[in-house]
Amino acid sequence: MSEVPRFWRESRHRYRLVGTRCTNCDTLYFPPRVICPTCRRESVGKMKEEEMSGAGEIYSFTVVHDGLEQFKMQIPYVMALVKMKDGPFVTAQIVDCSPEEVKIGTKVTATLRKVRSEGKEGIIQYGYKFTICP
Amino acid sequence: MSSIVSYGSYIPRFRIRTEDIAKEWGENPENIKSGLFIHSKSVPGPDEDVLTISAEAAKNALRRTDLDKSKIGAIYVGSESHPYAVKPTSSILVEALGLSYDIHSADYEFACKAGTAAMQNVMAMVDSGQIENGMAIGADTSQGAPGDALEYSASAGGTAILIGKNGFADFNATLSFTTDTPDFWRREGEKYPSHGGRFTGEPAYFKHVLTGAKKMMERMGTKPEDYDYAIFHQPNGKFPTRAAKMLGFKDEQVKDGLLTPYIGNTYSSSMIIGLSAVLDKAESGDRILGVAFGSGAGSDVFDMTVNDRVKSLKRERAKGVMEQVNNPIWIDYATYVKYRGKIIMRGA
């Protein structure tokens, strides 16, 4: 049960792709940052939470044939680097498709899915994955 | 008067055909298809459950309106397959949808009519002035034991109905009819439900659906021909078709809201996903009768009229029901049992 507090602290970011924008240099970060790595002390108190639209495109991807035990049911599955329309890059699973359907530049949209669970008794961790836009 | 401000549905893309289930159990698929009138059903992906389905349905509802999310004062989720036995689906949705924390939330259970029970409570809260708007969701990832007749119908899907004042479809009235009828049940801790076979027909489904519909038409002084659309709970394709005929409704009033032949029985979303399909095409002035049924047993009945505000509804911002129905990924029985957890896997 050790992951409960950490997961809970990050849940809104994982559920809704909430990042932080540095209002000093107008850069959006995901995962959220407490201070802007560019503006540093100038950004203190100027980082604002912002929800991304969920739209993006595949920047690069790989097909996983020997995955983690909890993802065994979904092999082969696609893990991709998604360039979000809002700016940041996000690493995520692409679901509801075969690997042949995924190409660099394919438009995708975020969807909420189960990511993992702590056995049958622990909490279920939900988060973003992506589906291909029709 | 409370009304529907927006609506949205979500149907998982995976589907299995009746033929693929029947051949594993030595059944004649044509007998099943003609007996139950089900050709295929939706199957949730291995990473989908009632929370994820509810979230996607609710997001579709929110996309179709410009309503300020902070003005949603209640969210209720009806289901018989909530992910947790203790830990509400609705509270996770508050965060997942970015709603205000100053909100009433609860999970409901009444077999296949938990979603409509949620609708009635939101309507009452809006009508009494307790809240301005509220969201009622019916969603399920229903289970049927391997080899059981339910395996042909038990499917997955969800529908969210956003209710408030000044919506595009007015609720003229709602009523319920409830009796103690043990037609279908699942005991605590059991994985699969049990049912009373033919007992699920006359004393359960037909008694409650027909009585509820008749009581509503009696209260409103209406006849079947006064409605442009009628939607009935659809555990299979046969029951609602027969109930409609017994009440005097014609096929053209029923066909747009009858989805079970293509996606199976989505349980708590069953009647309201049919309503969602009707709302995808309904026009101003259309009158709709919706009759939900939940085993155990009871019916919730709604009389609704679409008004002129439907013209400014942003339907195109979310995928309609038929658009989702017509976008399947077909799977075989082996994949189906794997996805539904019917085989034991280490660490899964």
The confidence band for A72, taking pLDDT boundaries of 50, 70 and 90, is: confident
Residue A43 in domain: no
The confidence band for B347, taking pLDDT boundaries of 50, 70 and 90, is: low
| pLDDT one-digit tens code per residue, B88-123 | 999 999 999 999 999 999 999 999 999 999 999 999
Q: Please give the average per-residue pLDDT across B66-74, as a whole number.
A: 97
Residue carrying structure tokens 């189960």: A114
What is the percent of chain B where pLDDT is above 70? 99
What is the percent of chain B where pLDDT is above 90? 91
Please tell me whether residue B280 adopts helix, strand or coil conformation.
Answer: coil
The DSSP bridge pattern shows strands A18-22 and B14-17 to be: unpaired
> What is the rounded CA–CA span in Å between residue B262 and residue A56?
31
Verify whether the Cβ–Cβ distance B52 to A111 is below 8 Å: yes
Residue A14 in domain: no
| pLDDT one-digit tens code per residue, B279-290 | 999 999 999 999
Average pLDDT, chain B: 96
Residue A29 in domain: no
Known catalytic membership, residue B132: no
Task: Output A1 or B157, whichever has higher pLDDT.
Answer: B157
Peptide bond into B146 cis (omega under 30): no
How many angstroms separate the Cα of B232 from the Cα of each of A27, A59, B153, B238, B243? 52, 46, 16, 11, 8
> What is the rounded CA–CA span in Å between residue B293 and residue B304?
17
Residue A28 in domain: no
Q: What's the confidence (pLDDT) of residue A71?
A: 87
The secondary structure element, H or E, covering residue B248 is: none
Nearest to B348 among A72, A111, A129 (CB): A72
Which residues, numbered 129 to 158 in chain B, qualify as contacts with chain A under a Cβ-Cβ cut-off of 8 Å? Answer: none
Verify whether the Cβ–Cβ distance A74 to B98 is below 8 Å: no
Residue carrying structure tokens 């296949």: B112
Residue B156, classified by CB atoms within 10 Å of its CB into exposed (0-12), middle (13-18) or buried (19+), is: buried
Total length of chain A: 134
Q: In CATH, what number is assigned to the domain containing residue A90?
A: 2.40.50
* Contact of B302 with B171, CB cutoff 8 Å: yes
- Give the 3-state secondary structure of A31-46: CCCCCCCCCHHHHCCC
Residue A21 in domain: no
Nearest to A95 among B47, B83, B346 (CB): B47
Q: Is the ipTM value over 0.85, yes or no? A: yes
Residue A73 in domain: yes
Whole-model pTM: value is: 0.97
Please tell me whether residue B85 adopts helix, strand or coil conformation.
Answer: coil
Q: How far is CA B20 from the centre of its chain?
A: 25
Kindly tell me if the per-residue pLDDT of A134 is higher than 70: yes
How many C-beta atoms surround the C-beta of residue B219 within 10 A?
Answer: 13
* Contact of B155 with B263, CB cutoff 8 Å: yes
Kindly tell me if the per-residue pLDDT of A1 is higher than 60: no
Known catalytic membership, residue B24: no
Verify whether the Cβ–Cβ distance A96 to B92 is below 8 Å: no
Of A118, A62, A68, A72, the closest CA to residue A94 belongs to A62
Q: What's the confidence (pLDDT) of residue B266?
A: 97
Kindly tell me if the per-residue pLDDT of A24 is higher than 70: yes
| Alpha-helix residue ranges (DSSP H) falling in B98-148 | 114-127
The confidence band for A70, taking pLDDT boundaries of 50, 70 and 90, is: confident
Verify whether the Cβ–Cβ distance B347 to A70 is below 8 Å: yes
> What is the rounded CA–CA span in Å between residue A101 and residue B78?
35
Number of domains in chain A: 1
Q: Please give the average per-residue pLDDT across A5-23, as a whole number.
A: 95
Q: Please give the average per-residue pLDDT across B171-196, as a whole number.
A: 93
> Choosing from B112, B132, B151, B208, which is the catalytic residue?
B112
Task: Determine contact: B337 vs chain A, CB below 8 A.
Answer: no
| Max Cα–Cα distance, chain B, nearest Å | 60
The DSSP bridge pattern shows strands B72-78 and B104-108 to be: parallel
Known catalytic membership, residue B82: no
> What is the rounded CA–CA span in Å between residue B230 and residue B239?
14
How many C-beta atoms surround the C-beta of residue B318 within 10 A?
Answer: 22
Q: What share of chain B is helix, strand, coil (3-state, %, to 5)?
A: 40, 25, 35
Residue carrying structure tokens 């065994």: A72
| pLDDT one-digit tens code per residue, A43-53 | 999 999 999 99
Please tell me whether residue B316 adopts helix, strand or coil conformation.
Answer: helix
Strands (E), B18-112: 40-43, 72-78, 104-108
Q: What's the confidence (pLDDT) of residue A2?
A: 67
Which residues in chain B have their CB less than 8 angstroms from residue A114's CB?
Answer: 47-49, 52
The DSSP bridge pattern shows strands B14-17 and B40-43 to be: antiparallel
Residue range(s) defining the domain that contains residue A123: 53-132
Residue A82 in domain: yes
For residue B283, the distance in angstroms to the closest alpha carbon of chain A comes to 27
Task: Determine contact: B85 vs chain A, CB below 8 A.
Answer: no
Residue A2 in domain: no
| pLDDT one-digit tens code per residue, B11-51 | 999 999 999 999 999 999 999 999 999 999 999 999 999 99
Of B134, B161, B200, B133, the closest CA to residue B58 belongs to B161
For residue B329, the distance in angstroms to the closest alpha carbon of chain A comes to 8
Amino acid at B189: G
Residue B57, classified by CB atoms within 10 Å of its CB into exposed (0-12), middle (13-18) or buried (19+), is: buried
Q: Is the dihedral of CA B147, B153, B157, B163 positive or negative?
A: negative
* Contact of B53 with B267, CB cutoff 8 Å: no
> What is the rounded CA–CA span in Å between residue B147 and residue A57?
42
